[in-house]
Structure formats: structure tokens, C-alpha cells
């Protein structure tokens, strides 16, 4: 609408060249302003082609075991295996003897598992550059999904494990919620930088609504946003921050789900961009080529609380949006619709292996969906970069 106003017939008649230059300048300025501050800008291009086919039942598990909600997936550095975080065959691990951390080969065969009894409501999952596994306990205080864990002295922690299942570090106090440097309230996601810095989004639906940074030894460095009930649309603040990932430059990407946007920060916590073209992102994944995958399983789903179409993100489709982070505004280059008919909350977390296969967990159906590319994907126009 802005450009239509500037391109009236009188302006064209007076000076077409001046108008052309002005239009180019306005496009650049408006694009940057929308990316940084607008809740209405940079709409997702959901009409792009879907170059994926769906596979259900890829995983091969022991008799009697089934996947529940898969809340994370990462390719192993060897390129031959995929790690997943499963909520013990359902949506809860408290009082079960099942392992939530699973390792598969590329054919779907389970080759290793561990973690039973450590977590109540495992939520965020990350495999760092040294091969260590990180898991968050995502149930916020007052959420029914956290209550059982709290009664067992579990929850409100971020744990670092090796690939044998040994716990090497714990951040937060087990079963105790809070909003200071040493406590969390349902931390929902974690990511680790190449220098060892730990980024945590805390917390999940009714939690602390903040982004927190720690050093590699767990020393508190900074936080942004924060406070129970402190949901905010302001730049640099959050409403249900649900996931966090890092690119090759150390930039921090937060799935600010309650605000239907991604906020991008530099390694020092300075806000760089606000993007709304990725729908209502619950889960993020950034591959080694800096391609961003964003899972949106909530757009169009009515949310509880005061009437607010922004929270429900009506008019958008559920699915996976893919963009190139080497491009300044990271426009969506592919849209993958959510598989099957809509039955409520769908896609939440996802991961991508080195061959480009996407592994996504669905909430209501409590299942894993594997999206395999039908052809080689040109996700970046300039492959030389």
C-alpha cells in the first residue's frame, strides 16, 4: 500500500526517473523497517513449491515401544546417525522407565538409548559442536505437565550429557522454579556457541519469557526480557520463547512463538532483526550451510486467554518454512505444508540430517514425520558463498 501511494499518475508524469529512484530507496527502507519493528511485515511466501515427500513409521523400535512427542532431532557428526529426544512414548517421562534420548541410523534402526529417570518433561534438545547433548525441562510452574515432575524433585533444569548418558552439568535447581540467575521456570530451548557460551530460552507457556546467556562453566552473563507474566511484543522482549538456535556467525535466533516472530541477536545480545515471515515458529533448526528451518504447528489454532488474533496467527498455514540466513532478510524459499488434516497443535520441533531429510515431531498426533527431498534442492541461489 505504501508503494501504491507513492506511484500515483501525477508523479509518473512529472518525472519518471526520479520516481524510479525514489521507489528503489523506499523499498529498501521499508523492507528494513518491517524486518526490524513491524508485526505485520515480511509475510511468508507459502505459495512456494513443496519438494518433499512424507514418510511415516520410519523409526524401528523394540516391540511395545512407540514414539510419543519428539521434541528435538540432530544429525550426529558422523553423518550416519540421528539423535532424537522423545517424551517416553507420550507427552511425559515422569514415573516411566523408558529412555527419552534415542540414537538411530539412517535406516531408522534404533542403535542406542539412555536417560530414563533423569527427566520429567524433556523439551529442548541440542547437540553441540563437541558432541555433547543438552536437554531442557520445559514444564513451567502451574502447568499441569510440570506438577508431577516437581513432586518428584524434577524439572526446571538444563542438563548436559555425554553420549554414554552421563550427566556432566546441571543448570538450575531440580524441581525449584524461579527467575534469578540460578533458577528457571520451564526452560524450553538451549543452544551452545562454538566458544562454549550457553543460550537458554526460559520459559515455556507462563514461564519467565526471557533469553539467558551463560559461559561454558555455567557462569551467568546476561538476560533479556524476563519475569513471570511479562509477555511483551516490544522488540527484545518475548511471549513464550520456545526455541533458540545459532548460525555460523554466532547469531542467536529465538522462536518468539507467542508473538509469531523470530528475533535475531548478535553474540552480545544486541537485537538485529525481527522477522514475521516464518509464521508462528515453535521449533528452529539451522544446518551447517546456514539454512533455517522453522516449524509452525499452531498458526490458525485458537489460543487460550484474552481475545487476541495475533496469538492465534489466523490466515497462516501450518508447516515448515525454509530460508537462507546468508541473505539479509532471509526470505522464505520453500514452504512444506503440514502432513494430513489439521487436528489442532501440530509440528513443534524438527531437525535435518546432512542429506536434507527433515525429522519433525507432531504434538496432537504424538508421532514423527520424515520429509525426504524429492530432488536436489537449490536452497541458495549462489552456491559459491
Of all residues in the chain, the percent with pLDDT exceeding 70 is 81
pLDDT of 37 strictly over 60:
no
Higher pLDDT, 339 or 236: 236
Please tell me the distance from the alpha carbon of residue 210 to that of residue 55, in angstroms, as a whole number.
36
pLDDT of 109 strictly over 50:
yes
Reported pTM: 0.85
Please tell me the distance from the alpha carbon of residue 183 to that of residue 62, in angstroms, as a whole number.
37
For CA atoms 152, 153, 157, 163, the dihedral sign is negative
pLDDT for the residue numbered 44:
47
Q: Which CATH number fits domain 45-373: 3.90.1150.10, 2.120.10.30, 3.30.420.40, 3.10.129.10?
A: 2.120.10.30
**pLDDT band per the 50, 70, 90 thresholds, residue 304:** low
pLDDT digits (tens, 9 = 90+) for 332-355: 999 999 987 677 788 999 999 999
Do residues 152 and 181 lie in contact, with contact meaning Cβ atoms separated by under 8 Å? no
pLDDT for the residue numbered 376:
72
pLDDT digits (tens, 9 = 90+) for 141-199: 888 888 999 999 999 999 999 999 999 999 999 999 999 999 999 999 999 999 999 99
pLDDT of 130 strictly over 90:
yes
Q: All 3 cell numbers of residue 171?
A: 543448570
pLDDT of 306 strictly over 60:
no
pLDDT of 8 strictly over 80:
no
**pLDDT band per the 50, 70, 90 thresholds, residue 310:** low
pLDDT for the residue numbered 301:
76
- SS3 string of 14-35? HCHHHHHHHHHHHHHHHHHHHH
For the chain, the 3-state helix, strand and coil shares in percent, each to the nearest 5, are 10, 35, 55
pLDDT of 21 strictly over 80:
no
pLDDT for the residue numbered 41:
38
Domain ranges for the chain: 1-37, 45-373
Amino acid at each position: 500500500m505504501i508503494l501504491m501511494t507513492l506511484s500515483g499518475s501525477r508523479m509518473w508524469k512529472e518525472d519518471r526517473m526520479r520516481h524510479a529512484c525514489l521507489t528503489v530507496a523506499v523499498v529498501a527502507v521499508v523492507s528494513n523497517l518491517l524486518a526490524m519493528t513491524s508485526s505485520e511485515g515480511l509475510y511468508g511466501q507459502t505459495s512456494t513449491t513443496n519438494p518433499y515427500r512424507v514418510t511415516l513409521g520410519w523409526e524401528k523400535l523394540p516391540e511395545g515401544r512407540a514414539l510419543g512427542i519428539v521434541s528435538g532431532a540432530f544429525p550426529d557428526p558422523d553423518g550416519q546417525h540421528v539423535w532424537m529426544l522423545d517424551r517416553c512414548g507420550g507427552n511425559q517421562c515422569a514415573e516411566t522407565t523408558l529412555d527419552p534420548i534415542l540414537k538411530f541410523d539412517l535406516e531408522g534402526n534404533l542403535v542406542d538409548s539412555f536417560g530414563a529417570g533423569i527427566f520429567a518433561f524433556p523439551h529442548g534438545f541440542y547437540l553441540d559442536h563437541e558432541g555433547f547433548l543438552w536437554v531442557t525441562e520445559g514444564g513451567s510452574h502451574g502447568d499441569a505437565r510440570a506438577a508431577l515432575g516437581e513432586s518428584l524433585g524434577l524439572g526446571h533444569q538444563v542438563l548436559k550429557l555425554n553420549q554414554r548418558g552421563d550427566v556432566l552439568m546441571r543448570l538450575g535447581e531440580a524441581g525449584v522454579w524461579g527467575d534469578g540467575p540460578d533458577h528457571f521456570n520451564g526452560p524450553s530451548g538451549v543452544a551452545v556457541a562454538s566458544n562454549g557460551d550457553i543460550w537458554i530460552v526460559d520459559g515455556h507457556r507462563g514461564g519467565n519469557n526471557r533469553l539467558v546467556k551463560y559461559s561454558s562453566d555455567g557462569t551467568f552473563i546476561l538476560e533479556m526480557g524476563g519475569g513471570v507474566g511479562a509477555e511483551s511484543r516490544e522488540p527484545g522482549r518475548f511471549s513464550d520463547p520456545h526455541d533458540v538456535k545459532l548460525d555460523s556467525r554466532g547469531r542467536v535466533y529465538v522462536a518468539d512463538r507467542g508473538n509469531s516472530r523470530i528475533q535475531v541477536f548478535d553474540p552480545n545480545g544486541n537485537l538485529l532483526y525481527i522477522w514475521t515471515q516464518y509464521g508462528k515458529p515453535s521449533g528452529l533448526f539451522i544446518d551447517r550451510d546456514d539454512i533455517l528451518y522453522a516449524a509452525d504447528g499452531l498458526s490458525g489454532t485458537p489460543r487460550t486467554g484474552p481475545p487476541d488474533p495475533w496469538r492465534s496467527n489466523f490466515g497462516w498455514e501450518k508447516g515448515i518454512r525454509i530460508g537462507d540466513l546468508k541473505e539479509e532478510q532471509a526470505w522464505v524459499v520453500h514452504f512444506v505444508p503440514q502432513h494430513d488434516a489439521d487436528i489442532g497443535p501440530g509440528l513443534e520441533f524438527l531437525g535435518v540430517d546432512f542429506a536434507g531429510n527433515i525429522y519433525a515431531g507432531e504434538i496432537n498426533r504424538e508421532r514423527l514425520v520424515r520429509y525426504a527431498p524429492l530432488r536436489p534442492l537449490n536452497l541458495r541461489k549462489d552456491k559459491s558463498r
